Amino acid sequence: MTAHEYFERDPEREEFYRTFYKICRQFNVTWSSASPEVKAFVEEATRVAYEQGKARRNGENLNTVKPFFEDEAC
């Protein structure tokens, strides 16, 4: 691996982390001190928001995004 490859930024990864930090700010979450339940919520909210944004950018239907906590029993 070259230095260029190591430091090259992946735009999708950058977008994912921007979304993650936005969700943390929106819900006033400090990741390092968050409970497992709060972390699970933030992870799922980030996934849904990121996948919806990606679908929009790619011109796909938002119905292709798995719903929030779809597989979880409530």
CA atoms within 13 A on the CB side of 19: 19
Q: Would you say 50 and 13 are in contact if contact means Cβ atoms under 8 Å apart?
A: no
Q: What is the dihedral of CA 41, 45, 47, 48, to 10 degrees?
A: 140
Joined tokens for residue 74: 């409530």
Q: What is the pTM of this model?
A: 0.79
Give the model's pLDDT for residue 7: 80
1-5, 7-11, 40-44, 70-74: the lowest-pLDDT one: 70-74
Give the model's pLDDT for residue 67: 84
Overall average pLDDT of the 49-60 stretch: 91
